[in-house]
């Protein structure tokens, strides 16, 4: 579904932020992108979406170079969920989600009953139907993040890209979003890419993980990439990966232990 080959990018008058980056995501797989702050996760995401142009390499979507795709062709397949920010216009939650149907609505026409029914069903699935008539300007940051995810799903994409989707959510809504994404990928064959600061969330719902650092990267099955050794190397801390086994499923957590030795000497007490 998605293939990146020898990708490289740098900002003008600076060194490569990443280089020789190659990996592949199949239909129905979820990818997490992990790495320390400032390492280039969001920049790489913006390159994948075409907001920035790769300096080297290419990305293929369904076997076609994205540089050769028209924007309408690309965005028919891909939905993007940015980090939530306060909106200027006070659209209702339901109307905001219906906006995700814009590519299916002919110029000069308005959404029909089917569009509104689909939007409302997505809100129901996310447990947000009671907010349908509320103004988006009156939502919390976490609620608005959930609405933006719902709008992206209304588009019925093949690829869903999310930039830190859990950053403004409490634990309950984090679990809700992660479970929804897991269901979408494995039951509806939706390919999902998540830029996240939470390795434990990646262990919960992501098949593959791309871990970035200044001089390289790792890519592979999530449970093989998110290890204590790799966390120490890529995040510069010592941590424990803990596992809790339930009847039919295991759950993982990350317990930070200490800063690496060179950091402890300069830590602020």
Asked if residue 2 lies in contact with residue 59, where contact means CB atoms within 8 angstroms, the answer is: yes
d(CA 255, CA 238) in angstroms, rounded, equals 9
Confidence band, pLDDT 50/70/90 cuts, at residue 106: low
Q: Which residues contact 2 (CB under 8 A, 6 or more apart)?
A: 24, 25, 59, 60, 61, 159, 191, 193
Cα–Cα distance between 207 and 221 in angstroms, integer? 6
Cα separation, 15 vs 13, in Å, equals 7
At 56 the pLDDT is: 95
Tokens of 223: 């449970």
How far, in Å, CA of 15 to CA of 12, rounded? 8
Give 215-246 pLDDT, tens digit per residue.
899 999 999 999 999 999 999 999 999 988 88
Q: What is the dihedral of CA 218, 222, 225, 226, to 10 degrees?
A: 130
**Widest CA span of the chain, in angstroms?**
64
Taking 80 as the threshold, does the pLDDT of residue 168 lie above it?
Answer: no
SS3 at position 7: strand
∠ CA 140-141-142, nearest 5°, is: 90
- The ranges assigned to domains in the chain are 84-156
Percent of the chain with pLDDT over 70: 93
Q: What is the pLDDT of residue 269?
A: 35
At residue 3, φ and ψ (nearest 5 deg) are -135, 125
Q: For the CA atoms of the chain, what is the radius of gyration?
A: 20
pLDDT tens profile 31-50:
999 999 889 999 999 999 99
What are the residues whose beta carbons fall under 8 Å from the beta carbon of 88, sequence distance 6 or more?
none
**Residue 264 to residue 269: CA distance in whole angstroms:** 10
CA distances to 41, 81, 84, 153, 191 from 196, rounded to whole Å, are 9, 13, 14, 19, 16
- pLDDT above 60 (res 268): no
pTM for the full predicted model: 0.87
Distance, in Å, from the CA atom of 111 to the CA atom of 218, rounded to the nearest integer, reads 44
Let me know: does 213 contact 225? Beta carbons within 8 Å. no
Tell the burial category of 175 from Cβ atoms under 10 Å away from its Cβ (0-12, 13-18, 19+). Answer: middle
Question: Given this model, what pLDDT does residue 102 score?
Answer: 82
> Residue 208 forms beta bridges with which residues?
31, 221
């Amino acid at each position: 579904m998605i293939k990146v080959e020898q990708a490289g990018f740098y900002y003008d008058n600076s060194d490569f932020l990443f280089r020789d980056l190659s990996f592949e995501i199949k239909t129905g797989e979820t990818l997490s992108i992990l790495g320390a702050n400032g390492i280039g996760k969001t920049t790489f995401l913006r390159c994948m979406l075409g907001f920035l142009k790769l300096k080297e390499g290419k990305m293929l979507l369904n076997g076609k170079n994205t540089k050769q795709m028209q924007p309408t062709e690309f965005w028919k397949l891909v939905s993007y969920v940015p980090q939530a920010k306060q909106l200027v216009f006070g659209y209702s939650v339901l109307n905001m989600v219906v906006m995700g149907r814009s590519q299916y609505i002919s110029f000069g026409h308005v959404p029909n009953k089917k569009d509104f029914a689909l939007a409302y069903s997505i809100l129901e699935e996310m447990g947000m139907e009671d907010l349908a008539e509320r103004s988006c300007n009156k939502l919390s940051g976490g609620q608005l993040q959930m609405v933006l995810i719902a709008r992206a799903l209304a588009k019925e994409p093949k690829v869903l890209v999310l930039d830190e989707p859990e950053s403004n959510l409490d634990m309950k809504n984090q679990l809700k979003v992660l479970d929804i994404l897991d269901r979408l990928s494995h039951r509806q064959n939706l390919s999902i890419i998540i830029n996240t600061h939470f390795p434990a969330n990646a262990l919960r719902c992501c098949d593959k993980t791309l871990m970035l650092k200044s001089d390289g990267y790792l890519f592979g099955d999530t449970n093989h990439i998110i290890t204590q050794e790799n966390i120490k190397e890529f995040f510069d801390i010592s941590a424990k990966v803990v596992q809790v086994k339930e009847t039919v499923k295991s759950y993982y957590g990350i317990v930070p232990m200490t800063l690496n030795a060179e950091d402890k000497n300069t830590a602020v007490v």
